[in-house]
Chain A
Amino acid sequence: MKALTHTCYMTVRHLRNLARQPLYVMFTIVQPVIWLVLFGQLFKNVVRIPGFGAHAYVDFLTPGVVIMTVLFGSGWSGLGIIRDLDLGVMDRFLVSPVSRLALVTGRLAQLSIVAVIQSVLIIILGVLLGARIPGGITGVLALIGCAVLLALPIGSLSCGMALVTRKEETVIGAANFILLPLTFLSSVFMPPNLLPTWLLDLARFNPVEWAVEAARAALDAHADWTVILPHVALLVAFAVVTAGLATRAFRAYQRSV
């Protein structure tokens, strides 16, 4: 109970601090627009490649951009922890009766809320650009669910990394090093049947691929639950494991003070 109310307090704090950075908020909105419009135009003709499967590239690209945007947003979330560590805010909370769990779950809750808002905005934009969503409202909800299920583990990893290294540069470096390859080692921009076999083999271990595959399957007119459920299960398992890692990182930080 205390963990829940304290998580709410922390979530409000993080959302408020975020809203006070209008430039940052603008970038998080503008960036997916650029992805969607730019890549949509750039790769417009790839749908003509035999075997692509979608009618228009924007149909295919919209869920991809949702996943990618949420991936990047959550990958940077550790920077907030570093800020709290540097400011001494973390230590102030640790000598108060605040729920320890809330110090991480508050951040993950904020990430999830931001992920939902971003997803909705991108889907609306995609539809405006002509994307069709045969899966309807269920498909959209499943897509948003997949986005959140990706945000949680990536956010946990980023926070864990921040607690262990305590250096802004390291978190930025690691995010840069990992996030882009994760995006390109998946079917965010290209359908799996057009990807080289070696890449597909790697993609099987890629959480971004799990999210994208599940989301696209849910958006189909006839949602294939045999594709969706295993991928969702993998994402949930990944979230559980990374939450455990984040908790350990948190304990390690407490021991080192």
Chain B
Amino acid sequence: MTVIDDRDSARSDGQPARQESWAIEATNLIKTYPGDVRALDGLSLHVPAGTIFGLLGPNGAGKSTTVKILTTLSRADSGEARVAGIDVLREPARVRWAIGCVGQRSGVDSAATGRENLALQGRVFGLRGAELRHRVNVLLERFNLTQAADRITRTYSGGMQRKLDVALGLIHDPEVLFLDEPTTGLDPEARADMWKEILRLAHEEGITILLTTHYLEEADRLAKRLAIIDRGRVVAEGSPEELKSELRGDTVHIELLNAEDVEKAHGVLGRLEELREPAREGNLLRARADRGATTVPVALAALESSGVKVASVTVARPSLEDVYLRHAGRAFREADEGGKR
């Protein structure tokens, strides 16, 4: 017989039941910056312990603000957050011992060597003497920085600096690691390297990782669960597969020969029953269809009869980008242009 605790499982506010296994839980976070910029507008998140959680969204959506609040760098105006079971607003000092943070900008002191950076970070966390030296060497070794350890970090490549950043965040063996856009600006090789390391940290060391990114591929590849946020709120949350399967059917992409026709074509497609949620971007149109293969001829016929010339048509299974489009209603590029913070 199973005993069910009603107090936890039957909550009326629709939030997941409170469990001990949430490494990060945030409820209704609101943050407004001077000038009435509402960075977070009631954001809630639940990250299971020991997993990689992706926070996805365009620039300005509130990803970094969320990380800043959860890492105690910034304070929310209202709402609640617990990291590793500790209240972020009431006990920020305790939270800092449980978390490692890699900010969007590198935090490496470029005038110091890699070893010096790590040693100072270790001392701040109370490591001393042989223990400190050992920990520094272990991290240098793990991130392939042993050879460069005594070089001034100004001479490091972008990938090496980013690795050192992660090593700095790990010096005290944190329970939860925050990575704010860890691969932005890295070349493909360094990015693949970083991905490997992030997966290893979660799978072998059991560290909970919250990762923000605006690369959909990165979230798809790494995150077990993810939340898409836009304008300071979570607009979708789930595993990448769940989110994709929520979108029924296929995505139809139609490229027009003349970009001027895009408005007209958008109208034509909008009148077709077989197509849902038509969207336009430059000379590209995109819509969803239950069965792509049978819808394409219908759509092409409709376009041709209204004089719109088509350059190419593709039908694809839904991607994470489609998920994003579905929930935020605008393409990444568009939102990026509008994004500020």
Interface residues of A (CB under 8 A from B): 6, 9, 13, 16-17, 20-21, 84, 87-89, 91-98, 255-257
Contacts and interface: CB of A to CB of B under 8 A. Distances in A.
Nearest to B102: A92
Nearest to A5: B123
B168 A13 contact: no
A94 B124 contact: no
17 contacts: A9-B123, A13-B112, A13-B116, A16-B116, A20-B152, A87-B107, A89-B107, A91-B103, A91-B105, A92-B121, A93-B124, A94-B73, A95-B103, A96-B121, A96-B125, A97-B97, A97-B126
B256 to A, nearest CB: 44
Contacts of A17: 109, 111-112
B35 to A, nearest CB: 11
A155 to B, nearest CB: 19
A80 to B, nearest CB: 10
B99 interface: yes
B120 A92 contact: no
A97 B152 CA distance: 25
A197 B136 CA distance: 62
Interface string B103-121: 1111111111000100011
Interface string B282-323: 000000000000000000000000000000000000000000
Interface in B89-144: 93, 96-97, 99, 101, 103-112, 116, 120-121, 123-126
Contacts, number: 68
Nearest to B121: A96
A6 B124 contact: yes
Contact of A88 (B93, B97, B103, B116): B103
User: Which of A84, A96, A98 has its CB near the most chain B CB atoms (within 10 A)?
Assistant: A96
B124 A96 contact: yes
Q: Counting chain B CB atoms within 10 Å of each CB, which of A16, A87, A89, A257 scores highest?
A: A89
Given A87-B110, A94-B72, 11 more contacts: A9-B124, A13-B120, A16-B116, A17-B111, A84-B109, A87-B105, A88-B108, A91-B107, A92-B121, A97-B93, A97-B97
A9 B73 contact: no
A53 B126 CA distance: 57
